Amino acid sequence: MTAARIWALHLALIAALFAAQYLLPPYHVTNLARIMVLAVFAMGYNLAFGYTGLLSLGHALFFAAGMYGGGLLSYHLGWTALPALIAGLAAGGMMAGAVGLLALRTTGVSFMIVTLMFAQAGYLTILYFGPTTGGDEGLNLPAAGRSLLGFSLSADGPRYLVALGLFSTALLCCLGIARSRLGRIMVAMRENEERSRMLGYNPFTVKLIALVLSGLFSGLAGAAYGVLFGYVGASFATIQYSILPMLYVLLGGAGTVIGPFLGALLMFYLIDFASGLTSAYLFFVGAALVTLVLFAPKGILGTIRERWLGWLP
Partner 1 sequence: MKTAKTFQPSRRLILKAGAAGMLASAMPSFVGAQGAPIRIGFQLHRTGIGASYGRWYERTAQAALKLINEGGGINGRPVEILFEDDATDPKRGSEVVEKLTVQAGCDVVMGTLFSHVVIGSAPRAGELKVPYLVCSEGYHVASGMLNRWTMQPGITDVRSQISAMAPWVGANLGKKVTMIFPDFAFGHDHRDFFTKAMAAQGGEVIAQIAIPPTETSFTRYFPQIPADTEVLYHVMVGPAVLTFVKELGEFYGSGAKPQIFGFIDSLEAVDTATPGLEFLEGTHFWEGHNRVTPADAGEHEAAYRAAVGVDDMGASVSDAKDVSTYSHMFSTWETLFAIKAGMEAAGYTGPADRQKFVEAMEAMADLPYGMERPQGAKRFNGKTHQVFGTQNISQVQGGKLIRVHQTSMEDGAYEDAVDYTAMAF
Partner 2 sequence: MSFGPFLLLALMEGMVTAAVLALSAAGLSLVFGVMRVVNVAHGEFYMLGAVIAWFVTTMIPGSPAVAFVAALVIAPLLVGALAAAADGLILKRLNYDPEATIVATIGLLYMIQQAVLSLYGPNANPVAAPFEWRIQLPWFGYSGYKLFVVAAAATLLLAVWALMTRTKAGLVMRATQIDRTTARAFGINVDRVYMGTFALGAGLAALAAVLIVPIQQAHYLMGGDPLLLSFIVVIIGGLGSLRGTLLAALIIGLSDGVISMFFSPTLAKILATLLVAMVLVFRPQGLFGARA
Partner 3 sequence: MAALIEARGLTLHFGGLRAVDGVDFDLRAGEIHALIGPNGAGKTTLVGLLSGRRRPDQGTIRFAGEDITRLPAHARVRLGIAYTFQITSIFPRLTVFDNVALAVQMQNHAPLKESVHAALERVGLSGFDRQIAGTLAYGHQRLLEVAMGLALGPRVLILDEPTQGLAAGEIEGFKALVQSLVPVASILLIEHNMDVVMDLATRITVLNFGKVLATGTPAAIRADKAVQEAYLGA
Residue span binding partner 1 (CB under 8 A) among the ranges 3-11, 42-50, 201-209, 229-237: 229-237
Query: Beta strands 139-140 and 147-148: pairing type?
Result: unpaired
**Is residue 144 near partner 1 by the rule CB under 8 A?**
no
Residues forming contacts to partner 3 in the complex (CB under 8 A) are 181, 184-185, 187-188, 191-192, 194-203
Task: State the binding partner of 195 from partner 3, partner 2, partner 1, none, CB within 5 to 8 A by kind.
Answer: partner 3
CB of 244 to partner 3, least distance (A): 27
Q: Contacting partner 2 (CB under 8 A), which of 194, 294, 308, 310?
A: 294
Task: State the binding partner of 236 from partner 2, partner 1, partner 3, none, CB within 5 to 8 A by kind.
Answer: partner 1
Q: Contacting partner 2 (CB under 8 A), which of 29, 33, 47, 116?
A: 116
CA angle 59, 65, 70 (to 5 degrees): 140
**Binding-site string for partner 1 from residue 176 to residue 215, where x marks contact by CB under 8 A and - marks none:** ----------------------------------------
Q: Contacting partner 1 (CB under 8 A), which of 22, 150, 279, 308?
A: 279
What is the chain's Cα-based Rg?
A: 19
Closer of 273 and 311 to partner 1 (Cβ): 273
What residues form DSSP beta bridges with 152? Answer: 147
Closer of 213 and 267 to partner 1 (Cβ): 267
- Applying the rule CB under 8 A, the residues between 207 and 246 that interact with partner 2 are 239, 243, 246
**Is residue 304 near partner 2 by the rule CB under 8 A?**
no
CA distance 254 to 191: 13
Residues of this chain that bind partner 1 (CB under 8 A): 25-27, 30-31, 34, 124, 127-128, 130, 134-141, 154-156, 229-231, 233-236, 240, 272, 275-276, 279, 281-282
Residues of this chain that bind partner 2 (CB under 8 A): 55, 102-103, 105-107, 109-110, 112-114, 116-118, 120-121, 124-125, 127-128, 239, 243, 246-247, 250, 254, 279-283, 285-290, 292-294, 297
